């Protein structure tokens, strides 16, 4: 690869830097909001009285 052709990588490098910055920002935001604390408690928030934890409520239909 010639030194002149490295200028073709500038848009790709820019996109990578923007993506990395957004990812670090999202990680920082989630840690400040407490999303990364107590994963077990956070995982149980999807369960309700209608669909309690530990009970299978969905299944595939049986083949005939």
Q: How confident is the model over 34-60, as pLDDT tens digits? A: 888 888 877 777 787 777 777 777 777
The Cα–Cα gap between 50 and 41 comes to 18
Structure confidence by residue, pLDDT tens digits, 11-26: 999 999 999 999 999 9
- pTM beyond 0.85, yes or no: no
- Phi and psi torsions of 7, nearest 5°: -65, -20
């Amino acid at each position: 690869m010639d030194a002149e052709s490295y200028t073709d990588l500038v848009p790709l490098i820019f996109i990578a830097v923007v993506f990395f910055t957004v990812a670090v920002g999202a990680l920082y935001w989630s840690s400040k909001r407490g999303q990364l604390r107590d994963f077990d408690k956070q995982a149980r928030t999807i369960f309700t009285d209608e669909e309690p934890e530990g009970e299978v409520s969905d299944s595939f239909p049986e083949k005939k």
